[in-house]
Amino acid sequence: MTVAQLDYKQALGGGVPFLWLNPNHRRCPGAVAEARWTMADIEAAERRFQASGKLLGSLFSDTCLDGDVIESVLQAVDWPAGQVQDTASPPGHLWIKCDHQLPIAGSIKARGGLHEVIAFAEELVSTYGFEQSHRDFSHWSDSEIQSLFNEHTIVVASTGNLGLSVGLIAKALGFKAVVHMSVEAKSWKKEKLRGCRAIIVEHDGDYTEAVRIGREAAERDPKSYFVDDENSPRLFLGYAVAALRLQRQLARNKVRVDRQNPLFVYVPCGVGGAPGGICFGLHQVFGENVHVFFSEPTQSACMLLALSEGEAGPRAVYDIGLDNTTVADGLAVSRASAMVANIVKPLVSGIYTVSDEILLRNLYLLKHEYGFSVEPSAAAGLSGSDFLLNTDAGSRYLKENTRPGSLARSNHVVWTTGGMHLPRVEYEHYWSLGRAIDDNAI
């Protein structure tokens, strides 16, 4: 990689794709134990999903994949062309965690959004004295509970996918829903929400601005509840449940994860909730044998900025001359969540940045090589193993953090995070751009 010699600040501020290794990774070995939450909190979220399975199955036609629980498949795939230099001795196995097919929301936001809305509904039902009903979801369609839900508004701000997840679930359960959409939100996402009678508030500003305005509006109305993507334990723990699911799917495929068999996971990052929850959950499950890398657009590298700076609150990417424009609308976030940055600081192995060109080419390759249709944000993970295996920073990471010889027995999970509902014409537009880039690269 040509930027190997560049100072990371130059690469970051210059918008050049590169792999940043987190200097605070494992600085405090007990980091997971000291975090605000424990495995018991993730398991409680998992029970909530299981309890709601039947209800969701009755509200949505596309739910059950893994029993009654919302889940996506883990698919074994071959290495994409060009990533592996020595094909005779490949660097372990590659997998794709297909959250681009996650039911209901069609993205990784399904777990977080569902968990938060259901947890709030439970709390409401119990606050209003429906004692037996708050854990027995079969009563939630009863008229008293429906009128309770109908009096309450769930408010969320989003670049698109979180709005889709929270809005669709809130409306299906019987709540009112208001979704504040930032400037990059795609119109098909707004239309889908309007179709189920959610109220859309469109903003000219970015995501951080939409969150601020949404939060203020919700505060003025005592019967509204704000899903705060910058600061939400319920979203975070919902996302973390994915770690338990991945653990089960790996075990089913007889994949071992230990010192001799390290696990590498690559997840796209926006404000940080989804990848942060997954990173936290995976460290609870696999400890130091899992290595989690986040991926951000070069112009929206807000988590990299937050983690590479000192203790003060996260700064906006505009402060270092980046403009937050990216084809990855789901990752177009200018300021990272302070809550998540604090949790993942000692846990995440590193963050790599990707240009629009890389994203579009990956989108094309995911279709060409594996038949998967994803949105641009969701294609960021595919470059993870490339950065790890084919850059100086990646080699340094492997040398310092893994046992000699263990790479051949390693497993790599690329998280594809959204795309199921992407309209065909939009997908084909991205695909043809990606193909042209791929043609030129050969």
Ligand X SMILES: *Cc1c(COP(=O)(O)O)cnc(C)c1O
Q: Does 101 help bind ligand X (rule: CB under 6 A)? A: no
Does 373 engage in binding with ligand X (CB under 6 A)?
no
DSSP line for 50-75: HHHHHHHHHH-TT--SBTTB----EE
Out of 70, 274, 292, 414, name the contact with ligand X by CB under 6 A. Answer: 274
Minimal distance in Å, beta carbon 280 to ligand X?
12
Q: Which is closer to ligand X, CB of 272 or CB of 346?
A: 272
Interaction of residue 109 with ligand X, rule CB under 6 A:
yes
Closest residue to ligand X: CB criterion? 270
Helix-helix angle 233-252:39-59, to 10 degrees: 90
Closest by alpha carbon to 162, among 153, 173, 152, 154? Answer: 154
Q: Could you give the CA distance from residue 268 to residue 292 in angstroms, rounded to a whole number?
A: 11
Tokens 């309209």 -> residue: 423
Tell whether residue 275 is a contact of ligand X (CB under 6 A). Answer: yes
Cβ of residue 372: shortest distance to ligand X, in angstroms?
13
Burial environment of residue 211 by CB neighbours within 10 A (0 to 12, 13 to 18, 19 or more): buried
Contact window for ligand X (CB under 6 A) among 41-49, 104-112, 190-198, 358-366: 104-112
Stretch that binds ligand X, among 38-46, 58-66, 78-86, 374-382 (CB under 6 A): 374-382
Angstrom distance (rounded) from CA 329 to CA 378: 10
Element (H, E) at 268: strand 263-268
- Closest Cα to residue 46, out of 61, 31, 30, 68? 68
273 binds ligand X (CB under 6 A): yes
Enter the tokens of residue 418: 């959204």
CB 431 within 8 A of CB 367: yes
Considering the rule CB under 6 A, would residue 113 count as an interface residue with ligand X? no
> Which one of residues 91, 92, 270, 434 is an interface residue with ligand X (CB under 6 A)?
270
Least CB distance from residue 165 to ligand X, whole Å? 9
Cβ closer to ligand X: 275 or 314? Answer: 275
**Rounded distance between C-alpha atoms, residue 301 and residue 324, angstroms:** 8
Nearby residues of 216 by Cβ (< 8 Å), 6 or more positions away: none
128-167 mask for ligand X (x: CB under 6 A)? ---------------------------------x------
Extract the tokens encoding 3.
């930027």
Give the separation between CA 287 and CA 205, rounded to whole angstroms.
Answer: 40
Which residue's CB is nearer to ligand X, number 334 or number 377?
377
Rg (CA), the chain: 21
Cβ-Cβ contacts under 8 Å for 399 (sequence gap 6 or more): none
Binding positions for ligand X, 405-424, rule CB under 6 A = 417-418
Binding-site size, ligand X (CB under 6 A): 19
Burial (CB count within 10 angstroms: exposed 0-12, middle 13-18, buried 19+), residue 435: middle
Q: Which residue's CB is nearer to ligand X, number 206 or number 375?
A: 375
The region of 8-16, 48-56, 105-113, 252-260 touching ligand X under the rule CB under 6 A is: 105-113
108 binds ligand X (CB under 6 A): yes
**334 near ligand X (CB under 6 A):** no
CB of 101 or CB of 133, closer to ligand X: 101
Residue from 163, 167, 214, 330 in contact with ligand X (CB under 6 A): 330
In angstroms, give the least distance from the CB of 44 to ligand X: 20
Q: Any idea what the Cα angle at residue 351 is, between residues 95 and 9, rounded to 5°? A: 155
Q: Which of 114, 243, 255, 271 binds ligand X (CB under 6 A)?
A: 271
Residues that bind ligand X (CB under 6 A): 107-109, 161, 268-275, 330-331, 375, 377-378, 417-418
